[in-house]
Amino acid sequence: MVMHIKDGTGRFAERPHFTEAELDAECEEIICDFLRELHGTVGYPVSTDDLTKLIELHADDLDLYADLSALGEDVEGLTEFRHGEKPHVKISRLLSDDLRRENRLRTTLTHEFSHVHFHSYLSDSVARQSSLFDTGQPNQPMTCKRETILAAIKTDWMEWQAGYACGALLMPATAVKHLVASFFRDHGIYVAVTPDSTHGRNLIRSAADTFRVSEEAASVRLSRLSFLSASVSGQTLLQ
């Protein structure tokens, strides 16, 4: 059962609270169950087509070629919560039309799916409170900006949860641990490495290639799982 705590933003009386371990476990279960049902097996990277199918299972509409320019140049995705309905998801056509940005597209798709999965039920509380985003309009979008899509501050809890879940869906903890264990054994490493070290840079590139994500996304995920450390005196990770 999801724990609920007081919402300090004032949007709701209470809001869902997840630990990182809880998000890791739930996201891994979601993506593994989905891939097994779809393909009979689990493998990475998760394809762009599979991510669109995942959203379409849980949203009423997915527009991959939306014009979001009126919302700002940095808005790459949008989830519109609708009371009594499943959400509508829009992805900027600037991502979908550019094959060079497919990794960014996949990151945005998983971010928006995370809003759909973890937050859509909250729209039902709008009927009991004021508007979800305090604008007085019935259907309000959750816009996702480029700089917060991976790592928003924790006080912006909806974006933080979606950003963390995004990494956990594309790079499930178990798969990342297997990759890191193999990398560390091959290089005789037993403690977390720094991101700017040779081993750290190579580990980031290996994760980015394996899961087809940007090096920035790989670095954020590895840091959150404590495989990258800010100091050279990292904790012992593998025995």
Residue 196 buriedness (CB in 10 A; 0-12 / 13-18 / 19+): exposed
N residues, the chain: 239
Alpha-carbon gap, residue 103 to 78, rounded angstroms: 17
- Spell out the domain ranges in the chain: 3-170, 173-224
pLDDT in tens, the chain (239 residues): 789 999 888 777 888 999 999 999 999 999 999 999 999 999 999 999 999 999 999 999 999 999 999 988 888 999 998 878 899 999 999 999 999 999 999 999 999 999 999 998 887 665 444 434 444 444 556 665 555 556 666 778 989 999 999 999 999 999 999 999 999 999 999 889 999 999 999 999 999 999 999 999 999 999 999 999 887 654 545 44
- Structure token pair of residue 196: 């700017």
Tell me which amino acid residue 30 is. Answer: I
- pTM to 2 decimal places: 0.87
Pick from 177, 113, 176: nearest CA to 144 = 113
Token pair for residue 49?
A: 């087509």
Query: Are the C-beta atoms of residues 210 and 45 closer than 8 Å to each other?
Result: yes
